[in-house]
Amino acid sequence: MDNTTISVNPDLSNDLNINIGTPAPAPAAAPAAAPQNAPQQPQQKQPSIYGEIPQIPVMDAVEGIKFDFNDGIRILFPHNGKEYHVTFSDIDTGIILYSADTVPGAYVTSVKKFYIKFRLIIHEKGGKEPIFTHDYDCTGKEVMIQLPVGTLGDSIGWFSYVERFQKKHNCKVICVMTPWIADVVKEQYPDITFITTEETKNYRPYACYYMGLFFRGDVDHQPIDFRYIGLHRTAGYILGVDPADIPPRVNLSAPRQIKEKYVCIAAQSSSQAKYWNNPFGWINVVKFLKENGYRVLCIDKESVHGTGLNWNFIPYGAEDFTGDIPLQERINLIKDADFFVGLSSGLSWLAWCCKVPVVMISGFTHPTNEFETPYRVINYHTCHSCWNDMRLDFDHFDFLWCPRHKGTDRHFECTKLISAEQVITTIKKIPTFRGKEEEAK
């Protein structure tokens, strides 16, 4: 543990920390800190990716005691000279998570920060009858759910679970979301309030939960490591709702813009491991599509992306529809395409919302990491799925991250050895594919 908290019960050190003084702030950033017994690696510090929560618990118990469920259960005892006995348990499992005496001014908080249906019981020290009991119930109350930073795929993947929480508990959900992403969903979800991280300081919610990918074995902010269950489903586990795949609703009402048959592609991403690193892959797929009468529209934000000496360009032969434009305009284009071809990146998740077939080319993630698509392309004859390997941790600051083969001739072989032929074969399986043979019939 760090130097701001001390364990008050060694047998329950995984379930409770106690801090004498000011309550700890919300988690600063993902990835989470490494466990104590793990080798310590030098890391660059990430800026905070979440908004604020009230420093002092917002609910009144008795005798000046305050509590809430912002970042786990939090109980703050007053400096009134009295000692108490505090117990909290998980109602759903019937397990007591902590039961101990306190000292004046104690601040008690659970280590586990994901959704738990807590029961809080407070006694005077030595007393037989409780002086306060509270069962978690957010019905009709404000619950803040924070989606960090502005990553498109993560936000889209997690958002449907926000609504599921709101419907399950009939609560007033405040969703902290990057505005340019919120703009494409908020009209479809009138029962949810959307705010920015800067606006969080204006709210005093009953509970707050943080969506994120927490690395290095962190099971305090997520009940199970996300690498087991997939990038989007982890939100379902954090919020205690059904983790099944459901794409968020977006506005698909715009009229068709292009009369010819066309497909949308996206070739850029945030890390080289996500790219299709076969040097002839996109060239041959674009050629195949054009030979079959398709316009091929590249809709990436950038036509060129990379770092240092490593740069990726718009696929040869594709029409340049790149640019920093509103997401709704991207949706208006994707929704009428015969299908979409992309990577394990944000625009593939956006195409999922548009209800078009998605051909996803990815080797560094296992298929369980993303939404279900029958048109997933992966080569199991090569090294693959390092992102979901529990023995490895992603380096956010290494654009050329390849944990098993970096610097060797096998660097990025997971996608170098995905051939254009494999992708073309997958495209031909799509019912909406209209090749020369089909149109000649």
Active site residues: 154
What Rg value do the Cα atoms of the chain yield, rounded?
A: 25
**Neighbouring residues of 136: CB distance < 8 A, sequence distance ≥ 6:** 69, 91, 116, 117, 118, 119, 207
Can you tell me whether residue 19 is helix, strand or coil? strand
> Length of the chain, please?
441
Residue type, 152: L
Quote the CA–CA distance of 222 and 112 in Å, as a whole number: 8
Extract the runs of DSSP E, i.e. beta strands, from 266-409: 295-298, 304-307, 310-313, 319-320, 340-343, 358-361, 376-377
3-class DSSP assignment, residue 29:
coil
Outline where DSSP puts E strands in 125-187.
Answer: 132-135, 142-146, 172-176
- Residue 397 phi, psi dihedral angles, 5° rounding: -105, 5
CA 28, CA 49: separation in Å to the nearest integer? 7
Q: Do the beta carbons of residue 30 and residue 148 sit within 8 Å?
A: yes
- The runs of H, that is alpha helices, within 186-326 are 226-229, 233-239, 281-291
Closest CA to 282 of 266, 302, 299, 306: 266
Is the Cα dihedral 434, 439, 440, 441 positive or negative?
positive
What are the φ and ψ backbone dihedral angles of 207, each rounded to 5 degrees? -145, 160
Q: How many CA atoms lie within 13 A of 414 on its CB side?
A: 26
